[in-house]
Amino acid sequence: MKKLALVLVLQLSLTCLFAQVHQMSKGYVVPEDTLVQQKIKKWEDLKFGLFMHWGTYSEWGVVESWSICPEDEGWTQRKGPYGATYSGYKKAYENLQTTFNPTKFNPDKWVRAAKDAGMKYVVFTTKHHDGFSMFDTKQTDYKITSPKTPFSANPKSNVTKEIFKAFSKENFMIGAYFSKPDWHSENYWWPYFPPKDRNVNYDPAKHPEQWQKFKDFTYNQISELMTDYGKVDILWMDGGWVRPKSTIDTAVDWQKAITFNQDIDMPKIAAMARKKQPGLIMVDRTVAGQYENYTTPEQQVPAASLDHPWESCITMGNSWSYVPGDKYKSANEIISLLVKIVSRGGNLLMNIGPGPDGDWDPVAYSRLQQIGKWIKINGEGIYRSAAVAPYSENNIYYTKSVKNNATYAFFTSDKESLTLPATITLHLNDKAKVKKISLLGINKKLKWTADKAGTVVIQNSPGTLTQSGLLNAAVYKIKY
């Protein structure tokens, strides 16, 4: 039995390597609401956020939700003892509700680790595509606070509330991930028909009353999240196939397959949500317009800076959700990603998937700790910065601080330890007179020359930096 479980875990973790990738949309529209504009500005300064995918799927250590989607894709495969028939599998999957008991859940511990690493906002999966609500919704019993779920007896069972409360206390911006599609709702996958793919399984135009029920359900759930969970800054809506037919981009593969109009009336949802949460940033992913206030390139970094607010969401391991033994990126890789993203004007939303016991893999804590050591010294070049030409030259990335007008040059390395060459040449776009250059974390005068064209040559004490906080990327601060 143990062996079978191990095989199951291994097979399922392989599945997670192939994730469904939501591409970025084109055609950004500046939101009309000035409060929204202000909040976006504030959010853009934060640069580094924490994403968490957590649900009953973590019990099997499988990719979130997708194994109940009847599409034949790498990431939707059903494996293990329940995989033989679709209906048997879905039943067993939904039955995970009756064993979910993450007794180690302690959001304060997550906040401490995230804060120490320099993260400034959080986005949490209040409900993923499988429809299991990680909050105390009144709209369904398929939720963490249902008496069917053992964890409901725990005083912290409304985990969304606890997470938002704990992170709010430390002034994080709060983001609610919410899946528009719901593969548990009988008004999305109507049991009269079998589900065929990720989409609604009946034509809403033919069955408008049924679709209206789904719209009401969605509206009510979002209304609960906007009412009973304190201040919410971001409503991060996934599942871009739920969209008005007129917005479908047939150049995108998964959008081509959308047959029905799945309009859930975003203007109505937005009006309600922003009444309760003034200035709310809405991220109706891939549906360009008033409700996609920033774009979300997924598992990728755009090749150059973009002309609108954006955030790369990237997993710390290979999978969005918890997979035992997942391979985590090194702290150096994460720092390099952060630097690259920030130098192009974006934010990094780094995902960690809590396990079925309610805690993270210890590796995640250790990565965050290492990042924290670096960011305490070098964060002044990260936060409240903007992209600045020439953006990057080889392994050097630039930012410009909005605060003090200094330019920062990040000398990155593909290794944790960093070997500084005897000289570093920067080609700054800024023709203003350079007054001072320093290396963050080192209290020593640097020798340098600068010419009128903006070429700066810095003399280093060549060698390997071994001091904690100077590893990974050395940061030169250039003052004018």
Nearest to 339 by CA among 382, 294, 308, 301: 382
Does position 298 interact with ligand GLC (CB under 6 A)? The reply is: yes
- Identify which of residues 210 and 286 has a Cβ nearer to ligand GLC in the complex: 286
Told to check if 238 binds ligand GLC by CB under 6 A, we report yes
Q: Binding segment for ligand GLC among 14-22, 336-344, 393-401, 455-463 (CB under 6 A)?
A: 14-22
Shortest approach of ligand GLC to residue 69 CB, angstroms? 9
Which residue's CB is nearer to ligand GLC, number 22 or number 274?
A: 22
φ, ψ for residue 475, nearest 5 deg: -120, 120
Residue closer to ligand GLC by CB (options 53, 344) is 53
Q: Give the x-and-dash track for 64-103 against ligand GLC (CB under 6 A).
A: x---------------------------------------
Residue 319 binds ligand GLC (CB under 6 A)? no
Q: What is the DSSP string of 197-249?
A: SSS-SS-TTT-HHHHHHHHHHHHHHHHHHHHSSS---EEEEE-TTSS-GGG--
- The answer for residues whose C-beta is within 8 angstroms of residue 104's C-beta and 6 or more apart is 357, 358, 359
Binding of ligand GLC by 20 (CB under 6 A): yes
Distance CA 277, CA 83 (A): 43
CB of 237 to ligand GLC, least distance (A): 11
Indicate which single residue of 111, 313, 437, 471 sits in contact with ligand GLC (rule: CB under 6 A). 313
CB of 299: closest distance to ligand GLC in angstroms?
Answer: 8
Q: Which is nearer to ligand GLC, 320 or 397 (CB)?
A: 320
CA 3 to chain centre: 34
Does 311 help bind ligand GLC (rule: CB under 6 A)? no
C-alpha torsion sign, points 111, 117, 118, 124: negative
In angstroms, the CA 396 to CA 406 distance is 16
- The number of residues that bind ligand GLC (CB under 6 A) is 9
Dist CA 9 CA 6 (whole Å): 5
Reported as half-sphere exposure (CB side, CA atoms, 13 A), residue 31 has a value of 26
Q: Interface with ligand GLC by CB under 6 A: which range of 17-25, 77-85, 335-343, 408-416?
A: 17-25
Contact flag: residue 15 with ligand GLC (CB under 6 A): no
Asked if 171 contacts 230 with a C-beta cutoff of 8 angstroms, the reply is no
Residues 6+ apart with CB under 8 A from 234: 43, 121, 123, 173, 174, 175, 176, 280, 281, 282, 283
Question: SS3 helix, strand, coil % of the chain, rounded to 5?
Answer: 30, 20, 50
Specify the DSSP element, H or E, that contains 93.
helix 86-94
Shortest spacing between CB 404 and ligand GLC, in angstroms: 34
The amino acid that residue 325 corresponds to is: G
Least Å distance, CB 465 to ligand GLC, is: 35
CB of 313 to ligand GLC, least distance (A): 5
Give every CB contact of residue 407 below 8 A, 6+ residues apart in sequence: 388, 398, 399, 400, 401, 428, 430, 477, 478, 480
One character per residue 256-295, x = contact with ligand GLC (rule: CB under 6 A)? ----------------------------------------
Taking the complex as a whole, the smallest distance from the CB of residue 53 to ligand GLC amounts, in Å, to: 6
Read off the amino acid at residue 174.
I
Q: Which amino acid is at 98?
A: T
Residue number, nearest CB to ligand GLC: 20
Looking at the Cβ atoms of 55 and 356, the one nearer to ligand GLC is 55
Stretch that binds ligand GLC, among 16-24, 105-113, 151-159, 211-219 (CB under 6 A): 16-24
Nearer Cβ to ligand GLC, position 298 or 359?
Answer: 298
* Contact window for ligand GLC (CB under 6 A) among 19-27, 153-161, 355-363, 427-435: 19-27
The reply to whether 50 sits near ligand GLC by the rule CB under 6 A is: no
Instruction: Closer to ligand GLC by CB, 291 or 320: give it.
Output: 320
Question: Is 320 a residue that touches ligand GLC (CB under 6 A)?
Answer: yes
Q: What single-letter amino acid sits at 361?
A: D
- Amino acid letter for position 374: W
Nearer to ligand GLC, 105 or 236 (CB): 236
Using only C-alpha atoms, the chain has a radius of gyration, in whole angstroms, of: 24
Beta strands in 310-366 (DSSP E): 311-315, 347-352
19 contacts ligand GLC (rule: CB under 6 A) = yes
- Name the nearest CA neighbour of 344 among 380, 293, 373, 307: 307
Find the part of the chain contacting ligand GLC (CB under 6 A) among 18-26, 271-279, 383-391, 466-474: 18-26
| Residue at token pair 């995918």 | 53
Of 22, 47, 79, 400, which lies in the binding site for ligand GLC, with binding defined by CB under 6 A?
A: 22
The interface mask with ligand GLC, positions 390-429, x = CB under 6 A, is: ----------------------------------------
If we measure between CA atoms, which residue out of 177, 166, 407, 139 comes closest to residue 311? 177
- Name the nearest CA neighbour of 124 among 61, 76, 173: 173
Q: Contact residues for ligand GLC (CB under 6 A)?
A: 19-20, 22, 53, 64, 238, 298, 313, 320
